[in-house]
Amino acid sequence: MNVVFFCFKASECLNILLRVFVNLTHGDSNWAQGFIANEFAVGLIVRLISSLSSTEDEEHSDVSQRSAASSASPSSSHHQQQHAWDRQCLALGLLTNLVQSVPRFKNVLRRTSRSFF
């Protein structure tokens, strides 16, 4: 088994986990409060939402990454991009559920920043 296979499986697991969290927090303030009680939850959501755009920026700016990406099969690259979009949509759905279920979460989110360096 190679590293690409394990990364792909990890990506699938993360997407499944996000689907579960989206379902659990939908209209359930207890689950939403439990989720944001974790000190890493807000950072995780922000990182997941912003990771797709930062990954695209890095690919456009780094020549070596572009050449490596071109050597990968088109279907594999397309599949990875599809998983990244799914993950971003799920993270946005989770964020929406949290903002709607826990009013104070809006203030926590306003104070949240992410370093892009």
| pLDDT tens by residue, 9-55 | 888 899 999 999 999 999 999 999 999 899 888 888 888 888 876 55
For residue 15, give Cα distances in angstroms to 4, 37, 97, 105: 17, 21, 16, 23
Per-residue pLDDT, averaged over 101-106, amounts to 89
Q: Is the pLDDT of residue 86 over 80?
A: yes
Q: Find tokens 């797709």 and name the residue.
A: 52
For the segment 71-89, the average pLDDT, to the nearest whole number, is: 76
Residue whose C-alpha is closest to residue 4's, from 52, 61, 68:
68
- What's the pTM? 0.74
Tell me how far CA of residue 38 lies from CA of 24, 31, 34, 66, 117, in angstroms.
15, 11, 7, 37, 25
C-alpha angle with apex 97: 49 to 22, nearest 5 degrees? Answer: 75
**What is the pLDDT confidence band of residue 56, given thresholds at 50, 70 and 90?**
low
